[in-house]
Amino acid sequence: MALDVHLFPCLSDNYGILIRDRSTGLAATIDTPDAAAILTEAEHLGWTLSMILNTHWHPDHAGGNEAIKARTGAQIHGPVEVTRIAPLDREVLDGDKIMLGQTELQVIDTQGHTNGHVSYWVAQDHMVFVGDTLFALGCGRLFEGTPEAMWASLSRLAALPDDTLVYCAHEYTASNARFALSVDKDPQVAVRAADVFAARERGEPTVPTTIGLEKATNPFLRAVKLAPGLGTFSHDPALAFAAVRAAKDGFRG
Ligand code: ZN
Ligand code: FE
């Protein structure tokens, strides 16, 4: 392992995620949901933030950029859309490699929730920071992107090794599990949903998840199997995905 990861609840249902390169001690925050909370956590850990890595421009992801930079001098990396709300030091694009000390993070374009949403993949540690693209048993809403774009993004994440740890930006898993149970009778989904409800009952996070677990149980990654049950008999996986997304958007569970 090249990276230490520290995950903590932030705002109402976000996660703060701090990472630190072991060999150099350089640290970064994935997104900036709450500047004060992030600075406090970093201080408790004794980690010095030198970098901000934004997944997308939404205020619960980039809203703390300026306050954290003012306090730490951290360099802000993110997709150009972040400049809708605050300046960037470096725009990132698909395929870019960013070094945090000795650790390489690769930028993956995962647009769909917003235009220019990116994920950060640490191949050597089998971990990926996915913002609001993929959630445990869910995926982000399509605020700016098309179903085709989001399906392509989810497919790129699904192609990562099964043991890849997936750090999502929100704790939405219990409500996602209620929806999954309503559309998918696979026993693995029932087992996982029970695990999720028990973990939340104990106040434990359900993040990180893994690519393998999501491929087996996430209704959006299983869209091609589930779409006929929702009345969509297309062979186009993006249309199957759109059907599951529409069902979730209308779900009141
Ligand atoms: Zn968002
Ligand atoms: Fe968000």
The Cα–Cα gap between 53 and 173 comes to 24
Q: Which two tokens stand for residue 165?
A: 């740890």
Mean of the pLDDT values across residues 232-242? 95
Instruction: Look at residues 212, 211, 247 and name the one whose alpha carbon lies nearest to residue 231.
Output: 247
- In a 3-state reduction of DSSP, which class is residue 57? coil
Nearest-angstrom CA–CA distance, 245 and 202: 29
Identify which ligand lies nearest to the alpha carbon of 168: 2
How far is residue 239's CA from residue 37's CA, in Å, rounded to a whole number? 40
Task: Give the model's pLDDT for residue 235.
Answer: 87
Q: What is the pLDDT of residues 34-71, one digit of tens each?
A: 999 999 999 999 999 999 999 999 999 999 999 999 99
Bridge partners of 75?
51
Q: State the Cα–Cα distance between residues 74 and 66, nearest whole angstrom.
A: 9
Question: Of residues 21, 31, 34, 58, which has the active-site annotation?
Answer: 58
pTM as predicted = 0.98
The answer on pLDDT for 231 being more than 80 is yes
Known catalytic residue at 126: no
Q: State yes or no: is 235 an active-site residue.
A: no
SS (H, E, C) 84-142: HCCCCCEECCCCCEEEECCEEEEEEECCCCCCCCEEEEEHHHCEEEEECCEECCEECCC
How many helices (H) and strands (E) the chain has is answered by 9, 14
The answer to whether the CB of 199 falls within 8 A of the CB of 227 is: no
- The verdict on whether omega for the bond into residue 219 sits within 30 degrees of 0, i.e. cis, is no
Q: What is the CA radius of gyration of the chain?
A: 18
Residue 253 has pLDDT above 80, yes or no: no
When pLDDT is averaged across residues 215-221 and rounded to a whole number, the result is 98
141: buried, middle or exposed (CB in 10 Å: 19+, 13-18, 0-12)? middle
Task: Give the ligand whose atoms come closest to the C-alpha of residue 171.
Answer: 2
Let me know if 6 is a catalytic residue. no
Is 113 tagged catalytic?
Answer: yes
Answer yes or no: 132 catalytic: yes
Q: Of 31, 61, 117, 125, which residue is the catalytic one?
A: 61
Expressed in angstroms and rounded, the spacing between residue 56 Cα and the centre of ligand 2 is 9
Omega prior to 208 cis, within 30 of 0: yes
User: What pLDDT digit, counting tens, does each position of 132-186 carry?
Assistant: 999 999 999 999 999 999 999 999 999 999 999 999 999 999 999 999 999 999 9
pLDDT per position as a tens digit, 182-194: 999 999 999 999 9
Separation of 131 CA from ligand 2 center, angstroms?
Answer: 7
Which residue segments constitute the domains of the chain, with CATH numbers given?
3-249 (3.60.15.10)
Q: By the 8 A CB rule, do 15 and 8 touch?
A: yes
Question: Does 239 score more than 80 pLDDT?
Answer: yes
Which structure tokens are listed for 160? 């990562």
Indicate the residue type of 245.
Answer: R
Closest CA to 151 of 94, 114, 106, 112: 112
Q: Are 114 and 81 in contact (CB under 8 A)?
A: yes
